[in-house]
């Protein structure tokens, strides 16, 4: 799979409305508070890629290459805090620009848009499950970074609009 090996694990995008990232899973480890920062991402090849740690969602030890693809620590931590009525993590993380992620299905809250935890915006709203498994609440989320707004469409064709901040 030589072609796949050349695909970047994190895409950094500069826009007129500010920098943002696109990654598959997450750039922060909620268990240890280790995290990528804009500076580390800008540094190019960093030693952090090879750091071994436990990856929630991967359920095993792995490197940051594995974490960026399989990590679910942010959402697991968020759900645990909700369940225990604890203080929720901040929507923004200092030194990390907004990062759009998928991998973990989190349908947007009606009227509020996608969940944002520590600069990670969860855009996977389960489009494949809405059709193949006919699950209510699942659908397709499209987000416009420049206008900071998006739409969600469920399997029945119902469309809702939302904006952030």
Could you report the per-residue pLDDT of 30-62, keeping only the tens digit for each?
999 889 999 999 987 778 899 999 999 999 999
Q: What average pLDDT does the chain have?
A: 91
Threshold 0.85, pTM exceeds: yes
Q: Is the pLDDT of residue 116 over 90?
A: yes
Q: What is the 3-state secondary structure (H, E, C) of 37-104?
A: CHHHHHCCCCHHHHCCEEECCCCEEECHHHHHHHCCHHHHHHHHHHHCCCCCCCCCECCECCEEECCC
**pLDDT, tens digit, 9 for 90 and up, residues 72-102:** 999 999 999 999 999 999 999 999 999 999 9
More confident residue, 115 or 16: 115
Across the range 114-132, mean pLDDT stands at 92
Torsion angle of C-alpha atoms 87, 74, 143, 3, degrees rounded to 10:
170
């Amino acid at each position: 799979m030589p072609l796949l090996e050349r695909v970047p694990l994190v895409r950094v995008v500069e826009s007129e409305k500010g920098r943002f990232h696109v990654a598959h899973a997450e750039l922060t480890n909620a268990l240890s508070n280790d995290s990528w920062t804009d500076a580390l991402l800008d540094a190019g090849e960093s030693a952090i890629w090879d750091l071994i740690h436990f990856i929630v969602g991967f359920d095993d030890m792995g490197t940051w290459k594995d974490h960026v693809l399989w990590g679910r620590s942010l959402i697991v931590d968020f759900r645990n805090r909700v369940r225990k009525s604890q203080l929720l993590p901040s929507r923004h993380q200092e030194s990390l620009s907004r990062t759009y992620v998928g991998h973990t299905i989190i349908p947007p809250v009606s009227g509020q848009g996608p969940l944002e935890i520590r600069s990670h915006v969860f855009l996977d709203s389960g489009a494949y499950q809405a059709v193949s498994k006919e699950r209510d609440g699942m659908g397709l989320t499209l987000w416009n970074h420049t206008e900071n707004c998006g739409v969600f469409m469920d399997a029945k064709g119902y469309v809702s609009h939302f904006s952030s901040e």
